[in-house]
Amino acid sequence: MSETRRKIDIFDTTLRDGEQSPGVNLGVREKLEIARQLATLGVDIIEAGFPVTSEGDAEAVRRIAGEIRGVTVCALARAVEKDMTIALECLKKAPRRRLHVFLATSEIHRKYKLRKAKDEIERIAVWAVKYAKKRIGEVEFSPEDASRTERDFLFRIIEKTIQAGATVINIPDTVGYTTPGEFRDLIEAIHDNVPNIRKAVVSVHCHDDLGLSVANSLAAVLGGARQVECTVNGVGERAGNAAMEEIVMAMDTRKDLYRFRTGIRKSAICETSRLVSKLTGMVVQPNKAIVGKNAFAHESGIHQHGVLAKRATYEIIRPQDVGFGESQLVLGKHSGRHAFANSARKLGYRLSKKDLDESFERFKRLSDKKKEVYEDDLRVVVESVELEDVKKEYELKFLKVVSETSKAPLAEIRLDRRGRTLSASGTGDGPVDAAYKTLDRLLGFKLKLLDYTIRSVTVGKDALGEVTVWVRSASGAEARGRFASTDVIEASVRAYLDAVNKIHFKRSKDKLPTV
């Protein structure tokens, strides 16, 4: 089917406005890596930097202009000769290049920052665009703080800069002040009041100070904008810029409303987001739309059941479409049996109804203690149930280990052996040693501990510690025991008992005397 939707150009300014995020400082190599990824992603224009600001920025623009193909490379300049000369020199090697010139037009900027009257601003803007136009084909002009500029003055500046040769007119909401209705109205008014507006592409550039940058950009598209300036993950000055992935996916998901397309390869979105996050050091919040860790994670049992029955019940985007991988049913205390069984099946476990019931019960108990249950937690839960087919000779009824600085740890243990209670206490070199020595006393025999390993099977402070022991009895019988718990001393004791019970089980099956 041929694509009939008209195209919106995606102008990526991650390397320029995004790099203006407090604390972000990208080197030339990192900028090149991001630029390469942006080209793969399919952006139309890369704003590679603001060359006059530093030699590093200038060099990055030069390298990107020299090496990245298939996109337009753009550089930013104030409406002053020095800025424009350096930017033009840096862009030289790009087969497709654009100079982006800006000058503030709002009253507050004119009065306090530039100390210039309207006429002078108009004169400089026209001069700068003409200067640029003689030296490069594509000139974008931005009346900075356009959304707070008097409309009649804004219309005049736009008309004059188009006359001077600007091919793109960008309308920045520099301080993130506008709202969707107002911004759409402004873009429509520009189309209605600037006589030569059709000779230029109208672009928008929104900041997120009120959390409205994406909504404002989308409203502007409905008002006639055909280029959107944005950044990956919404990085940028202060609260950031409009997030590219959100704009792209909003237009794609709501084709019915936007009727426009972008050239973005959706499947490269997550990879790009991760790269930008890694290189800028700006962590993506878990609940960030499209690329956040939780963007496709369902925790509530009702939602999980719905997604398993029909994905679209609770998912408006297929995670695979944006390169996210599969949607995740995050197991937690809200998860139901469906999600649990599904996850266990995916991990390769074929559980009987009885084992499933018991595993699910244990999982519920664990998820009361742990916020998120990871894949490895699940394995441990399921395997601990499977191992239970081994008949238990000894069962742990009570465990207390007290450990104090400069005192030998004291263990107190109670076991049940076929209805009989055995209890003892004792000390040792450490809490595990105290527990094991006490266990030996209780059992009435000593096992040789051939190996003891402990590892964290999951991540986080509330991770499960899994203890594996390998023991040998005096008669030479060997067994491995394993147990996982958020309490590693308990895991150690239960793993030991697990091994003891296995030895017993084997012996009783073989009709041999016990240990």
> Interface residues with Zn ion (CB under 5 A)?
17
Q: How far is the CB of 11 from ligand KIV (least distance, A)?
A: 10
**With binding defined as CB under 6 A, does residue 272 bind ligand KIV?**
no
Q: Which of residues 356-375 bind ligand KIV (CB under 6 A)?
A: none
Q: How far is the CB of 77 from ligand KIV (least distance, A)?
A: 10
The β-bridge partners of 73 are: 46, 97
User: Using N-to-C axis directions, what is the helix angle for 353-369 and 375-386, rounded to 10°?
Assistant: 130
**With binding defined as CB under 6 A, does residue 178 bind ligand KIV?**
no
Q: How far is the CB of 207 from ligand KIV (least distance, A)?
A: 6
Task: Choose the one of ligand KIV, Zn ion, none that binds residue 142, judging by a C-beta under 5 to 8 angstroms depending on kind.
Answer: ligand KIV
Q: Quick one: three-class SS letters along 220-287?
A: HHHHCCCEEEEEHHHCCCCCCECEHHHHHHHHHHCHHHHCEECCCCHHHHHHHHHHHHHHHCCCCCCC
Task: Choose the one of ligand KIV, Zn ion, none that binds residue 384, judging by a C-beta under 5 to 8 angstroms depending on kind.
Answer: none
**With binding defined as CB under 6 A, does residue 102 bind ligand KIV?**
yes
CA distance 473 to 479: 9
Contact flags string 199-218 toward ligand KIV, x per CB under 6 A: ------x-x-----------
Task: Choose the one of ligand KIV, Zn ion, none that binds residue 50, judging by a C-beta under 5 to 8 angstroms depending on kind.
Answer: none
Task: Choose the one of ligand KIV, Zn ion, none that binds residue 144, judging by a C-beta under 5 to 8 angstroms depending on kind.
Answer: ligand KIV
Phi, psi angles (nearest 5°) of residue 146: -55, -40
From 166-174, 351-359, 378-386, 490-498, give the range in contact with ligand KIV by CB under 6 A.
166-174
CA distance 495 to 479: 11
For the chain, state the CA radius of gyration.
Answer: 33
**With binding defined as CB under 6 A, does residue 17 bind ligand KIV?**
yes
The β-bridge partners of 471 are: 449, 479
Is 107 strand, coil or helix? helix
**With binding defined as CB under 6 A, does residue 19 bind ligand KIV?**
no
Both tokens assigned to 363: 């999982």
Task: Choose the one of ligand KIV, Zn ion, none that binds residue 155, judging by a C-beta under 5 to 8 angstroms depending on kind.
Answer: none
Query: For Zn ion, which is the closer residue by CB, 17 or 498?
Result: 17
**With binding defined as CB under 6 A, does residue 98 bind ligand KIV?**
no
**With binding defined as CB under 6 A, does residue 142 bind ligand KIV?**
yes
Task: Choose the one of Zn ion, ligand KIV, none that binds residue 319, judging by a C-beta under 5 to 8 angstroms depending on kind.
Answer: none
**With binding defined as CB under 6 A, does residue 122 bind ligand KIV?**
no
Q: How far is the CB of 47 from ligand KIV (least distance, A)?
A: 9
CB 242 within 8 Å of CB 217: yes
**With binding defined as CB under 6 A, does residue 174 bind ligand KIV?**
yes
Query: For Zn ion, which is the closer residue by CB, 173 or 466?
Result: 173
Task: Choose the one of Zn ion, ligand KIV, none that binds residue 102, judging by a C-beta under 5 to 8 angstroms depending on kind.
Answer: ligand KIV
Per DSSP, 313 falls in state G
Q: How far is the CB of 236 from ligand KIV (least distance, A)?
A: 8
Query: For ligand KIV, which is the closer residue by CB, 242 or 331?
Result: 242
Of the candidate residues 51, 172, 319, 332, the single one contacting ligand KIV (CB under 6 A): 172
Is 165 strand, coil or helix? coil
CB 169 within 8 Å of CB 204: no
Q: How many chain residues are in contact with ligand KIV, going by CB under 6 A?
A: 9
Both tokens assigned to 461: 């402070």
CA distance 236 to 313: 34
Query: Max CA-CA distance within the chain?
Result: 105
Phi, psi angles (nearest 5°) of residue 83: -60, -45
Query: For Zn ion, which is the closer residue by CB, 19 or 299?
Result: 19
**With binding defined as CB under 6 A, does residue 144 bind ligand KIV?**
yes
CB 287 within 8 Å of CB 318: no
Q: Quick one: three-class SS letters along 352-418?
A: CHHHHHHHHHHHHHHHHHCCCECHHHHHHHHHHHHHHHCCCCEEEEEEEEECCCCCCCEEEEEEEEC
**With binding defined as CB under 6 A, does residue 161 bind ligand KIV?**
no
Query: For Zn ion, which is the closer residue by CB, 17 or 83?
Result: 17
Q: How far is the CB of 236 from Zn ion (least distance, A)?
A: 6
Query: For Zn ion, which is the closer residue by CB, 147 or 262?
Result: 147
Chain length of the chain: 515
User: Using N-to-C axis directions, what is the helix angle for 213-223 and 244-253, rounded to 10°?
Assistant: 50
CA distance 161 to 141: 7
Query: Which of 152, 144, 222, 153 lies closest to 182 in space, CA to CA?
Result: 222
Query: For Zn ion, which is the closer residue by CB, 17 or 140?
Result: 17
Query: For Zn ion, which is the closer residue by CB, 238 or 354?
Result: 238
Q: How far is the CB of 49 from ligand KIV (least distance, A)?
A: 12
Task: Choose the one of Zn ion, ligand KIV, none that binds residue 438, judging by a C-beta under 5 to 8 angstroms depending on kind.
Answer: none
**With binding defined as CB under 6 A, does residue 97 bind ligand KIV?**
no
**With binding defined as CB under 6 A, does residue 31 bind ligand KIV?**
no
Q: Which of residues 486-515 bind ligand KIV (CB under 6 A)?
A: none
Cα distances (Å, whole numbers) of residue 458 to 130, 266, 328, 358: 62, 32, 17, 21
Task: Choose the one of ligand KIV, Zn ion, none that binds residue 473, judging by a C-beta under 5 to 8 angstroms depending on kind.
Answer: none
CA distance 243 to 235: 7
Amino acid (1-letter code) at residue 344: A
Query: For ligand KIV, which is the closer residue by CB, 139 or 463?
Result: 139
CA distance 140 to 125: 11
List residues binding ligand KIV (CB under 6 A): 17, 102, 142, 144, 170, 172, 174, 205, 207
